[in-house]
Structure formats: structure tokens, C-alpha cells
Amino acid sequence: MKILVTGSKGFIGKNLVSELRNRNFTDIFEYSSDTDSILLEEYCEKADFVFHLAGVNRLQEQSEFMDGNYGFTSKLLETLKKYHNSCPVVLSSSIQAELNNPYGISKKASEDLLINYSKTTGSKVVVYRFPNVFGKWCRPNYNSAIATFCYNIARELPITVNDPTVVMNLVYIDDVVDELINVLIGKKNAVGDYSEVPIIHVITLGEVVRLIYTFKESREERSIPDMSNQFAKKLYSTYLSYLPKTKFSYDLKMNTDHRGSFTEFIKTPDRGQVSVNISKPGITKGNHWHHTKNEKFLVVSGTGVIRFRDINSEEVIEYFVSGEKMEVVDIPTGYTHNIENLGDTDMVTIMWANEFFDPEKPDTYFLEV
């Protein structure tokens, strides 16, 4: 299938083209503002499907909206008609088509043009009025508040929030791309002239900003957001895409002594804490038990033994562990336990605990195994 994507270098276009390739659509005609206009003839003659994503939304002169949106749409459709190509056309419009401003008027005119084109040619058309789309590869400090906030906050630059109570209707770029491809492969059919947009997240501007600041702080706090919140999950992925290229990494605090080290890696509000423990050869760590705190140990390098003893018993239980065999060992409550490095190299253990360490209530009691 030959697919024409206009606006292929724009925000939605780049994401769509990359995912089309991921799904093995290789015959893609990419058309953008710097493409030789003569190629539009060839593309319109051969295309089996058109994603019309090209458009303008921020110009010096308001009259340019009609030229860039309505004008190019007209040119695209006339070229398709020239070659008697009645392939399906999907138009990326905007909720501003409902508004009486130069941009909205130009988008509404483009919609009407496409709908009339369908009536005269029999071509299947789908019109999407997208709200604010956010995600990776959106240009910051241009016309996307989300992109600007992520970019600036990641760089400790100021942002402007005039009214934090403003309610935003947001749609994530991956949801948009999935929706568009579903139309292409026949999993989604438009109802009437307009098709419903994918999942919309309704949230205040102030809450968006608060979340992005927590993402920035999470590096210092060794935390990650609640990934069960779908909007936070998508916004966090977006934020990471705007990190400066020299700031992908961040340091962790290693607590070191002659025995090795213990480093907290990740804390979550509802899924506990992950840490990395390094034990020197011959070293034994632990010898304590918990009432409610529970843990999981996974030795990923080296060899050792984890010993347990019910605090009300003299029986010692041993589990021999090694990085050669990935095996998770649960640490039940009421059992004092330790871990000893039996090898001649450092032993590295990934440790999960069901709660953060609270110095006011450590729930950790020393007792030799």
C-alpha cells in the first residue's frame, strides 16, 4: 500500500511515519513544506491512502492561515481529482474549527472542502478535530503549552501560568497515531463526516504544571510517578523526551563502608522501594527481622547464601544464590535473616522492600540468625 503523508515533518507527521514503518508500511510518500512541489503530482497519482496532516497554525499575517490550510487542501484534492484517484483521505483538523478566529475559520473551510470533495467523488474521508495533542517531538516555545513546560522545567527555565484553573482537553500522540492507523487498516470506521478523537484527558493547567515539577524532583527523591494513572504515565514519558542531551543521567547516593555499599534506586508511593546492595567477599549483612516490612532479594552477580531463622525457633534455613541463576528469594516477616558473600568477587543483590525506609518507624530489629 502506498501512503501519502502531508506534513510528514510536523509533530503528528513524524510520529505517524515512524510508527507506520514500525508496522512494516514501507511505501510512504512523505510531503512537507520543503518537498519539491512537483512530487505532489506523482504522490497523488500513486497513493492508495492519504493522511493530510499539513497545515499552519502560527503565522505573521492572519491571511496566511487560509493560504496554508484551505489553499493547500484545495491543491491536494484538485491533484487527486486530476488523476482520478478516489483513495481515502484523513484530515487532521482542530477543535478551533468551531471558533470564529482566522485559524479556526481556515480549518473549518478545509473541512468543508474535504466533505464536499467526498460527496462529488465518492472518496471516503475522515475528519478529526483534535484538541491539544502532546508527546515527544512537539516543538517547545511555539504553540504547545505541554512542550514548553516540559522543555523549560527540565532546564530550570521560568514558565508562565496566567490561570492555573484553566481546564485543558489533552490527547496523547501515541493514541492519535493508533487511531489514525486503525482507520488505515480498517479497524476504525468514521461515523458521518467527523470521527471521534481517541482518549481525551481533562485536567487543569495547574495540575499539569504540578506533575511536571514532581517529575523533575523525582530524580532527587529517587521516585517515579504513579504509573497506574494513565495521564501521568503519558506526561512523564513526554517530559523525559525533553531532557537536555547532557542530562539523561543523574547520581544516586551510595552508602559505603568496608562491607560494600547500599544504594536506593527507586521509590514508589504504592509499590515500595528498589535498592542495590553490594557485598565484599566474605561479608555478611543483615541479621535482623521485621514485623510488617517484607523484601525480595535477587542476586545478579556473584555467589552467596541467604539464611533464615524464625525468631521463635533454632532451625536455620539456607538458600544458596548466584548470578548464574536468576532466582528471587522472598524475605518473610518474623524471620531474622542475613546474606553472606561466599565468592571471591563482589556480590550484587537487587533488593525490593514493600515500603520506604522510615527512620521514625524502621520496623527493623537486630537478631543474629
Q: Report whether 59 contacts 69 (CB < 8 A).
A: no
Rounded to whole angstroms, the Cα distance separating 99 from 92 reads 16
The CATH architecture annotation of domain 254-366 reads: Sandwich (2.60)
Grid cell in block for residue 263: 544504594
Q: Which residues of the chain have pLDDT under 50?
A: 60, 191-192
Instruction: Convert the pLDDT of each residue in 47-59 to its tens digit.
Output: 999 999 987 655 5
Rounded to whole angstroms, the Cα distance separating 68 from 72 reads 6
3-state helix, strand, coil in the chain (%, to 5): 30, 30, 40
Stated pTM of the model: 0.90
Question: Is 3-210 in CATH node 3.40.50.720?
Answer: yes
Confidence at residue 65, expressed as pLDDT on a 0 to 100 scale: 64
- How high does pLDDT run on average in the chain? 92
Instruction: Convert the pLDDT of each residue in 145-186 to its tens digit.
Output: 999 999 999 999 999 999 999 999 999 999 999 999 999 998
Closest to 240 (Cα-Cα) out of 159, 138, 151 = 151
Q: Report whether 330 contacts 284 (CB < 8 A).
A: no
Domain with CATH 2.60.120.10 in the chain: 254-366
Buried b (16+ CB within 10 A) or exposed e, 276-293: bbbbbbebbbbbbbbeeb
- Residues annotated as catalytic (active site), given as ranges: 103
Confidence at residue 143, expressed as pLDDT on a 0 to 100 scale: 81
Grid cell in block for residue 255: 552508602
